[in-house]
C-alpha cells in the first residue's frame, strides 16, 4: 500500500498554496450520482498558483507511483464503492470567470458551467445559454466537449490553457480550438496527458431578455425531463446516428425503463438515464449499465458506447 498521505504531506512541506485536503474523503460528496467510496487523498487547491502547484503535484506523485485523478464537478463519473487509490485533484477551487475585449469570456477550469453561463448573461453576451442548467465544471465540459440542444462546447471555444504532463516538467501551453480536433462528445484532451486550467469563449452581443429567456427555457426543459429528480450523471450512453434513434428511445422500446440493480434504476421516464434511488453502489450502477448494453446487443445487435466514465473499478 503506497503511503499517499505521507507523500502528500512531504510534497506540501515549504509550500503555501491555500486550499483544502482530506484523507479518506468519500467521493459520494463530490459526484452527482452521490455515490463512491473514499479517495486516499482528496485535495482542492485554491488561488492563482493552482496550475503550477497542480502540475508539480501530478508529476511528483507519478514519480512515486501514485496515480492522480483530475476531478471536475463529478457529473459524468461513477466511482466504485472501494473509492479511488492515490490522489484526487479537485479543480473546484480555481474558478474565476472574467470578460476580455471583443466578446471573449475567460473561464478557469473549476468554475461551474452555470457560473460561466450566468456571467456571460450578466454582461449581455450570447452563446453559452445552451449549457444553462448542465451540471459540472467548465474544465469537464471542455474535456467532454459537452453537447446539448444541438450545440457543442467546441462551437464557441477559442482556446484552452493546459498544463501538459507528458514530459519531465509541467508545461503551460495554450491549445487553439481547431474544429477538426473535436467531434460529438470528443475533445483532443481525451487523448492528451494534460490538466485543463482554463478556456476562452467567443460570444456575441445579445440582449439580456433574450439570453435570460433561452436559459430559462433550457432549465425548464431539463426539469421536465426529470434531470434533477434523482441523483444521476445524465446520459449513460452516447447517441449514434447510425442507430436511427437516440439511445434512450432504443432502451425504452425494449421495455427496459424501470429495470433495477439494487438502488440503481433505469429512470422509469427516460431510458438513457440511470438514477440512484437511495444507496446505489457504484458497482450496482455499473452492473445495470452493462445489463442494459447487453440486452441491446443481444436483441438488436447494436453496440452502445458509454458516455459516463467508470472510475476506481
Ligand atoms: C442531470 C445531468 C444532466 C446532464 N446533461 C448533459 C448534457 O445535456 N450534455 C452533456 O454533454 N453532458 C451532460 N451531463 C454530463 C455532465 O454534466 C457533463 O459531461 C460535464 O461536462 C462533466 O463535467 P464535470 O466537471 O462534472 O466532469 P467530471 O465528471 O468531474 O470529469 C469527467 C472527465 O473529465 C476529466 N476532467 C475534468 N476536469 C478536467 C480538467 N480540468 N482537466 C483535465 N481533465 C478534466 C476528468 O478527469 C474525467 O475524466 C449531465 C449530467 C447530469 C448529472
**Which residue has the CA at smallest separation from atom 53 of ligand 1?**
233
Residue 195 cell numbers, joined: 490538466
Q: What is the pLDDT of residue 2?
A: 56
Ligand 1 atom with the smallest distance to the CA of 307 is 19
Distance CA 57, CA 17 (A): 12
Interval 33-49: pLDDT, tens: 999 999 999 999 999 99
Pairing of strands 68-71, 194-202: unpaired
Tell me: domain 241-298+307-311, CATH 3.90.78.10, correct?
yes
Could you give the CA distance from residue 84 to residue 86 in angstroms, rounded to a whole number?
6
pLDDT of res. 167 = 87
| Structure confidence at residue 170 (pLDDT) | 86
Q: How far is the CA of 140 from the centre of ligand 1 (A)?
A: 4
pLDDT at 304 over 80: yes
Average pLDDT estimate for 218-228: 95
In this predicted structure, the answer to whether residue 1 has a pLDDT above a threshold of 80 is: no
The pLDDT > 70 percentage for the chain reads 99
Strands (E) in the chain, as ranges, are: 19-26, 38-45, 68-71, 77-79, 84-90, 97-100, 104-108, 125-126, 147-148, 151-152, 157-164, 171-176, 194-202, 204-205, 260-261, 264-266, 274-276, 309-311
Residue nearest to atom 21 of ligand 1 (CA): 141
The pLDDT-based confidence of 238 (bands split at 50, 70, 90) is very high
| Residue 119 to residue 99: CA distance in whole angstroms | 9
Distance 115 CA to ligand 1 centre (A): 15
Q: To test ligand 1's pocket by mutation, which of 55, 73, 111, 136 has the most ligand atoms within 8 angstroms of CB?
A: 136
Is domain 97-224 in CATH 3.30.465.10, yes or no?
Answer: yes
Mean pLDDT of 153-160: 98
Q: Residue ranges of the domains in the chain? A: 4-93, 97-224, 241-298+307-311
Q: Which three cell numbers stand for residue 220?
A: 425548464
Once rounded to an integer, what is the mean pLDDT over residues 146-169?
96
pLDDT at 297 over 80: yes
* Closest to 87 measured CA to CA, from 18, 193, 3, 168: 3
Q: Is 148 in the pocket of ligand 1 (CB under 6 A)?
A: yes
Query: How far out from the chain centre does Cα 168 lie?
Result: 27
More confident residue, 17 or 78: 78
Q: Is the CB of 92 under 6 A from ligand 1?
A: no
Rounded to whole angstroms, the Cα distance separating 128 from 113 reads 9
| Distance (Å, whole) CA 247 – CA 111 | 30
User: Atom 3, ligand 1: which residue's CA is nearest?
Assistant: 234
What CATH number has the domain spanning 4-93? 3.30.43.10
Mean pLDDT of 290-311: 98
248 CB near ligand 1 (under 6 Å)? no
How far apart, in whole angstroms, are the C-alpha atoms of residue 32 and residue 12? Answer: 30
147 lines ligand 1 (CB under 6 A): yes
Q: Please give the average per-residue pLDDT across 97-108, as a whole number.
A: 98
* Closest C-alpha to ligand 1, atom 13: 234
The whole-number pLDDT of residue 177 equals 98
Q: Which residue CA neighbors atom 2 of ligand 1 most closely? A: 234
Quote the pLDDT of residue 22: 96
Catalytic residues: 235, 307
Rounded to the nearest angstrom, the distance between the alpha carbon of 307 and the centre of ligand 1 is 10
| C-alpha–C-alpha distance, residues 304 and 247, integer Å | 8
Q: What is the mean pLDDT of residues 236-255?
A: 97
Amino acid at each position: 500500500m503506497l503511503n499517499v498521505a505521507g507523500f502528500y504531506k512531504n510534497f506540501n512541506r515549504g509550500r503555501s498554496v491555500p486550499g483544502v485536503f482530506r484523507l479518506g474523503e468519500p467521493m459520494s460528496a463530490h459526484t452527482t450520482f452521490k455515490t463512491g467510496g473514499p479517495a486516499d487523498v482528496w485535495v482542492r487547491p485554491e488561488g492563482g498558483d493552482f496550475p503550477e502547484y497542480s502540475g508539480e503535484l501530478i508529476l511528483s506523485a507519478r514519480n512515486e507511483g501514485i496515480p492522480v485523478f483530475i476531478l471536475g464537478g463529478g457529473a459524468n463519473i461513477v466511482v466504485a464503492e472501494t473509492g479511488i487509490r492515490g490522489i484526487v485533484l479537485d479543480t473546484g477551487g480555481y474558478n474565476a470567470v472574467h470578460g476580455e475585449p471583443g466578446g471573449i469570456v475567460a473561464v478557469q477550469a473549476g468554475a461551474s458551467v452555470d457560473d460561466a453561463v450566468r456571467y456571460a448573461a450578466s454582461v449581455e453576451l450570447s452563446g453559452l445559454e445552451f449549457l444553462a442548467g448542465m451540471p459540472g465544471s467548465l474544465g469537464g465540459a471542455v474535456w467532454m466537449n459537452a453537447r446539448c440542444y444541438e450545440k457543442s462546447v467546441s462551437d464557441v471555444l477559442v482556446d484552452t490553457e493546459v498544463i501538459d504532463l507528458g514530459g519531465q516538467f509541467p508545461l503551460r501551453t495554450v491549445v487553439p480550438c481547431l474544429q477538426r480536433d473535436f467531434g460529438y462528445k470528443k475533445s483532443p484532451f481525451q487523448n492528451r496527458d494534460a490538466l485543463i486550467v482554463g478556456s476562452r469563449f467567443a460570444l456575441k452581443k445579445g440582449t439580456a431578455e433574450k439570453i435570460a429567456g433561452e436559459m430559462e427555457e433550457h432549465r425548464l426543459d431539463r426539469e421536465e425531463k426529470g434531470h434533477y429528480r434523482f441523483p444521476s450523471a445524465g446520459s449513460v450512453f452516447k447517441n449514434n446516428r447510425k442507430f436511427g434513434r437516440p439511445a434512450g428511445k432504443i432502451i425504452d422500446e425494449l421495455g427496459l425503463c424501470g429495470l433495477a440493480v439494487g438502488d440503481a434504476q433505469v429512470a422509469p421516464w427516460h431510458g438513457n438515464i440511470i438514477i440512484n434511488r437511495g444507496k446505489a453502489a457504484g458497482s450496482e450502477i455499473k452492473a445495470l449499465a452493462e445489463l442494459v448494453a447487453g440486452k441491446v446487443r443481444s436483441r438488436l445487435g447494436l453496440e452502445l458506447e458509454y458516455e459516463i466514465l467508470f472510475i476506481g473499478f
